[in-house]
Amino acid sequence: MRLTGAWIEAAHVQRVLALLEAGGHLAFLVGGCVRNAALGTAVSDIDISTDARPERVVALAEAAGLRAVPTGIEHGTVTVIADHEPHEITTFRRDIETFGRHATVAFSTRIEEDAARRDFTMNALYARADGTVLDPLGEGLADLAARRLRFVGEPTQRIREDYLRILRFFRFTAWYGAPEEGFDAEGLAACAMLAEGIERLSRERVGHEMRKLLGAPDPAPAIAAMATTGILPHVLPGADPAGLAPLVHLEAGLPADPIRRLAVLGGTDPAERLRLSKPEARRLERLREGALSGAGPAVLGYRLGARDGLDAVLIQAALTGMPPAETSRNRVEFGAAQRFPVQAADLMPALQGAALGARLKELEARWIASGFALDRAALLG
């Protein structure tokens, strides 16, 4: 296989590969950029693997007039900036000992050793500067063609090296696996057996991975498998995946939204468990409360705005099993356009403080109950 495309032909990519090769070293594109290009999907991050030691990479880059940032130099990683684009360059490695994420590694000069310590076979593919793909393990290309996600080597060993690979197993299957093939049985069994290892991970890493999983075109089978195997409770206790598949169906035509999908899962304190940002946490709470309130589309539009109001309608439908009415979107947009006609100044100075607030709420409730029909005069009369 030979990869082509603007991403690999870009001057900055070829320049970085060339400076390593001109220095007498091997240099290969590796991982996600190769996998995605082979699948015909968008390429974002450029990762490069080389037999050059980190200090050698820095020296070659600086000699070529490029900035080298030691982003993970203790693990063999240097980021080289070319044409304002980052290129993460990592020296071939082999594992000596592993303790979860704290592996003891040694640098290597062999691509086969580097491939053997990667997570999944489809991520253990490399490409030369001319696009020629190398498959050092002899399994990656076949698995990629079959859309089959498998761990490299022994699954339990790969997981014990980093328990986040349990979540990555589900995330990559959701994104790149063939739906009709389901999950690799050996990998799934290993994930289930070692599920308690998730408790050792930082919540930031778990949250980051779950956002990516929930952002897949259809994460419902993966989340359901996590629940069936007892993995989901270690990530989000109390979450119920039953509404996720209906929600994905109802979302047709909308961009994937991890927070919308998280709202249908529920669970105990998802904002803390997944280290959501404050805006994410507030939106999640609003969507969940709106969906569970029983309010109609127009009221949800008024309370939450057009976008979140529609999301709450879809979540509500997914949780209740009752499809939304065809007019729901229009009703949400109608509600979002409404403005309460009474202001605090209309009730002052007769009312102040708590009494003023209570009266405003009472009038707003009457206005909403009227279908937003009552005007200012009718409400104050």
Write down the pLDDT at residue 106.
Answer: 83
Largest CA distance in the chain: 88
Q: Determine the pLDDT at residue 105.
A: 66
Q: Is the pLDDT higher at 96 or at 297?
A: 297
Q: Is the per-residue pLDDT at 97 higher than 90?
A: no
Can you give the pLDDT at residue 100? 52
Q: In sequence order, what are the beta bridge partners of 286?
A: none
Low-confidence winner among 19-28, 57-66, 72-81, 284-293 (lowest mean pLDDT): 72-81
Q: Looking at residue 199, what is its pLDDT?
A: 95
pLDDT above 70 coverage of the chain, percent? 97
Mean per-residue pLDDT of the chain: 94
- pLDDT of 102 strictly over 70: no
Q: What is the pLDDT of residue 177?
A: 95
Predicted confidence band of residue 231 (pLDDT cuts 50, 70, 90): very high
- Confidence (pLDDT) at 95: 72
pLDDT tens digits along 336-358: 999 999 999 999 999 999 999 99
**pLDDT (0 to 100) of residue 381:** 83
Q: What confidence score (pLDDT) does residue 240 get?
A: 97
What CA–CA distance (Å, rounded) separates 108 from 54?
12
d(CA 365, CA 357): 12
Instruction: Evaluate if residue 142 carries a pLDDT over 60.
Output: yes
pTM greater than 0.85: yes
Q: How high is the pLDDT of residue 45?
A: 87
- Does residue 238 have a pLDDT over 80? yes
CATH 3.30.70.3290 fits 1-145, yes or no: no
Whether the per-residue pLDDT at 103 is higher than 60: the answer is no
Residue 130: its pLDDT value, please? 96
Given a cut of 60, whether residue 101 has pLDDT beyond it is no
The whole-angstrom distance between residue 373's C-alpha and the CA centroid of its chain comes to 43
pLDDT band at 74 (very low <50, low <70, confident <90, very high): confident
- pLDDT band, residue 96 (cuts 50/70/90): low
Q: What is the mean pLDDT of residues 258-271?
A: 97
Nearest to 380 by CA among 344, 337, 353, 330: 344
Q: For residue 267, what are its two tokens? A: 């669970």
pLDDT score, position 75? 82
Looking at the predicted structure, is the pLDDT value of residue 218 above 70?
A: yes
Domain boundaries, the chain: 1-145, 343-380
